[in-house]
Amino acid sequence: MMDAMEMVKDERQGRPSASGMQRLFLCPGSWQAEKKCPVDDESEDAALGTMLHACMEQGTMPEDPEDAEAVAWCREMENALCKKYLGEEIRYALVWRESRVFERVDRLFSGKPDMVAVRDFKALVVDYKFGRLPVAAAECNLQLSALAVLVMDMFDEGDIDEVFVCILQPYASRKEPAVCRYTRESVEQARAFFRACIEQAQDEHAPLKPSEKACRYCRAQSSCPAVKLALVQVTSRDLTAAWEEWSPEKRREAYDLAQLAKRWAASVESKVKADLKAEVEIPGLVLAPGKKAFTITDAAAAFQILNGLFPDGITAAAFTGCCKVGITDLDKLVHGVRKAADAGAKVAESKNWLRKTLAGCAEVKVSDGSVKEKGVQDA
């Protein structure tokens, strides 16, 4: 359980947050389960998201050109959305960034809108998602619905009549985002919905309902008894024989549980590796030594050395025949050159130009298609 010191450090003050509303709705018991779990270390992807959020808040730009372009696109889209829904450019609006707000009536929950712009009795709320997986669209996104409640609560009745909410996810889609409109009436309906969800979640006997969506970011998934039971149920029969008997809905359930199993297995392997590194004995397991990898970091210098020693045998053509071009690094190099020549050059345009230019000395391989969920904002 969260102790007094942790409560002081917790800016949410022990209450649900808008960002967790979807999980809380799908699995009411996850609220109590997560309170018993330690906070995970920030992943590399999460650290990137934190850095890009800070750039949006502080008006700075990241060094990586693709990241810089994503931030620039978000700023351009913010301004376009302000003109479309508030009637003016963002510079003429009152703007808040990364300010935590608590629900006004009973402090039921809180949230930290990434950006709120207000003008002429209307508010625009923008949330950034810098991951590469598409997220639920605005009209069915509970985080945005919760943020609409919180932003309306920032003002006295009559000061704001409408709240427009949307998500910008530059790595998943560069289309103009879907925008959902909330009035005071619909905000009160949403407040009543969240009140019911939170009341159920605060019950110590709230049900655990594991699913791929509910468990995706839940800290309790590796210790959740409901997840374990669901995995046992779905793996207790011969899959080949059972598959023919299962309905399409049952097959979807099995697929969702398989995604949970992957993450659970990855978590177990990570913890076992950490134990072995710490010299904790686990029967029958040892940590194999890491493989040494010799990597040429300066190809030009390497060629000069070898060509100087064997000028007739190690020619430029022979040397480059041993090299594998890193397309990511080449993309950055080419984009940097094109950007220097044309400040308006875009990363995607440079990538397309490079592939067309080198089509005669390259190949394109198409991997097997991956399973993807319907009903999310897509590129």
In this structure, of 73-87, 165-179, 220-234, 332-346, the range with the lowest mean pLDDT score is: 220-234
**In the prediction, which pLDDT does 298 show?**
92
Residue type, 346: K
- CATH number for 7-202 (one of 3.90.320.10, 3.30.310.50, 3.40.1210.10, 3.90.1300.10): it is 3.90.320.10
Binned at pLDDT 50, 70 and 90, residue 265 comes out as confident
Region for residue 239 given its phi and psi (left: phi exceeds 0; alpha: psi -120 to 50; beta: otherwise): alpha
For 48-62, 261-275, 294-308, 325-339, which range has the lowest pLDDT when averaged over its residues?
A: 261-275
- Give buried/exposed letters for 362-372 (b at 16+ CB in 10 A, else e): eeeeeeeeeee
- Mean local confidence (pLDDT), 232-259: 83
Q: What is the pLDDT of residue 376?
A: 53
Are 117 and 97 contacting, i.e. CB atoms less than 8 angstroms apart?
no
Confidence of residue 6 (pLDDT cuts 50, 70, 90): very low
Place 9 in a pLDDT band, splitting at 50, 70 and 90.
low
Cα separation of 249 and 269, whole Å? 31
Distance, CA of 31 to CA of 1 (rounded, Å)? 12
pTM higher than 0.75, yes or no? no
Q: Output the CA torsion 339→359→70→93 (10° steps).
A: 70
* pLDDT at 135 > cutoff 80: no
Please give the Cα distance from 87 to 66 (Å, whole number).
30
**Adjacent-strand bridge partners of 165:** 125, 180
Identify whether the C-beta of residue 86 lies closer than 8 Å to the C-beta of residue 120: yes
Condensed to tens digits (0 to 9), the pLDDT of residues 156-185 reads: 888 999 999 999 999 988 888 999 999 999
User: Mean pLDDT highest for which of 40-54, 60-74, 132-146?
Assistant: 60-74
Q: Mind listing the pLDDT tens digit for each residue in 51-92?
A: 999 999 999 999 988 899 999 999 999 999 999 999 999 999
What is residue 7's predicted lDDT score, i.e. its pLDDT? 37
The whole-number pLDDT of residue 248 equals 92
* Rounded mean pLDDT, 272-290: 91
Distance CA 79, CA 89 (A): 6
pLDDT band of 114, cuts 50, 70, 90: very high
